[in-house]
Amino acid sequence: MFIFNVINSGANIGEIILCILSFLVAAMLAIVIHEVAHGYVALKCGDPTAKLQNRLTLNPVAHFDIVGLLMMILVGFGWAKPVPINPNNFRNRKKGMILVSLAGVVSNLIMAATGLLILFLVAPIIKYSSTTSTIIYALQILIYFFLVFFIKINFILAFFNLLPIYPLDGFQLLNVFLKPYNKFSEFMRRYGSWVLIGVIVLSRILNSSGLYKLDIFYWANYIINLLLDLVA
């Protein structure tokens, strides 16, 4: 689990605190912007539901989900309260659903790319800095941890949300092209949350049993680490 791994990483207490703090801030920002992107694109497509419910804000309190937060702290992956969307308000229902479904994923990819660029620019400064100031050193560590987590979380969110499992964006996108009341959609709407939990649990089992190469999240994380090695 995330907290357990950080505590047992061998880092000193100060670095552990900075690591957890930067992770929570990066995760909160990535998830909140993901949800706001859905609401903003929905508004542009004709649906003001998110705006009327004050969900087009970066204030994390408006998007707070207690279970999602606990999962983020314990497991390292969580979620916010979904932004409400009413497809009946879209000027073009099919186009609106496609754009809204892709909005969160695209926002995560943009944020990840932005984080990579910033890390590329600041990594040499942090690596070769010879400061003796404790405050400046802590700030450098905080910035580095934040950028690394921000990049990883956004890439993982983009990848994870493309899975065709309800209520993820991938399901909403696929469902646009399926016939109404099809068996797959009905199954996912009924059992999708359990399938989602099953995927996460299976990922943990594969990793703990040494079969990590069969885990799709392992390969997603492997690609992310390759990108980080190139810029940091």
Chain segment 79-89, per-residue pLDDT in tens: 788 899 999 99
**26, 35, 153, 161: which is the annotated catalytic residue?**
35
The pLDDT tens digits of the residues spanning 15-62 come to 788 888 898 899 889 999 999 999 999 999 999 999 999 999 999 888
Does this model's pTM top 0.75?
Answer: yes
Higher pLDDT, 132 or 26: 26
In the residue annotation, 15 being an active-site residue is answered as no
The pLDDT tens digits of the residues spanning 177-198 come to 999 889 999 999 999 888 888 8
The pLDDT tens digits of the residues spanning 99-126 come to 999 999 999 999 999 999 999 998 888 7
Over the chain, what HEC string results? CHHHHHHCCCCCHHHHHHHHHHHHHHHHHHHHHHHHHHHHHHHHCCCCHHHHCCCCCCCHHHHCCHHHHHHHHHCCCCCCCCCCCCHHHCCCHHHHHHHHHHHHHHHHHHHHHHHHHHHHHHHHHHHCCCCCCHHHHHHHHHHHHHHHHHHHHHHHHHHHHCCCCCCCHHHHHHHHCCCCCCHHHHHHHHHHHHHHHHHHHHHHHHHHCCCHHHCHHHHHHHHHHHHHHHHC
Across the chain, mean pLDDT equals 86
Residue 1 has pLDDT above 60, yes or no: no
The pLDDT tens digits of the residues spanning 155-181 come to 988 988 999 998 889 999 999 999 988
* pLDDT for 7: 66
